[in-house]
Amino acid sequence: MTYAQFIEEIRRLADQGETLLGTPGTNESQPFRDWRHEAQSTVSNALDLGFRLPGKFTSSIKPYRANWIGCTSADNRKAFNRDMADSVSQLRYLISQFDKFGPPETVPKVSVPAAPLTAPKKVTVRWLIDNVPVKVWFVVVGTLCAAFMLGVAAGQYGPTRTLIGNIEGLFKWSSPSAH
């Protein structure tokens, strides 16, 4: 899909969205639900293709209804019209920017993979510091601290102390002069 094709689809969706403003029904109507899915998918696909859009399309975070207890159908209709008008306005903005400036530059989504890391002949602490991500260091240090704290906690437990005492008794050497 080219950016011009994307904009033609957005023009159609903006026109269709404007017709939904005056029709009965709200966010539960099937025509609106179809429109919203198609609009969100079209914008999402354009972003996935690497098009840099000059504005946002925030339909996915709009409720298209009143969000309070005790709201009336008139409140829902008013909220629906407000959010629908905002969405159509966002689509019209994309169209107007295309009409004024043409298609934006695309941003390639594919990144060039880095050269594979080869281990040196001798792994040194300096090499580890330079090549191991900080996240790994946090995991290693966190694991060591957790193991230490677990050992301290286990040492405070009575049965563990008895077990350690029994093990120590196995390794005590008595000198021949003590007998």
Identify the bridge partners of residue 51 per DSSP, sorted by sequence position.
Answer: 106
pLDDT score for 91: 94
Checking if the pLDDT of 167 tops 70, the result is yes
Q: Which residue has the higher pLDDT, 171 or 132?
A: 132
- Token pair of 30, please? 């099937």
Residue 36 in contact with residue 17, Cβ under 8 Å? no
Res 58: pLDDT: 83
Q: What percent of the chain has pLDDT over 70?
A: 88
Greater pLDDT, 115 or 9: 9
pLDDT of residue 109: 55
pLDDT digits (tens, 9 = 90+) for 135-164: 988 999 999 999 999 888 887 878 877 877
pLDDT per residue over 58-101, tens digit each?
A: 887 888 888 888 888 888 888 888 999 999 999 999 999 999 99
Maximum Cα interatomic distance, the chain, rounded to a whole number of Å: 106
- Count the neighbouring beta carbons within 10 Å of the beta carbon of residue 54: 13
Q: Which residue has the higher pLDDT, 57 or 114?
A: 57
Mean pLDDT score of the chain? 84
- Compute the distance between CA of residue 120 and CA of residue 117 in angstroms, rounded to an integer: 9
CA distance 92 to 21: 15
- Enumerate the domain spans of the chain: 3-101, 125-171
Is pLDDT above 80 for 108?
A: no
pLDDT score at 56: 82
Region 167-171: mean pLDDT is: 70
Q: Which residue, 78, 81, 86, is CA-closest to 60?
A: 86
Q: What angle do CA 18, 55, 77 make, to 5 degrees?
A: 30
The pTM (predicted TM-score) of the whole model is 0.58
Which among 124, 135, 134, 96 has a CA at the least distance from the CA of 10?
96
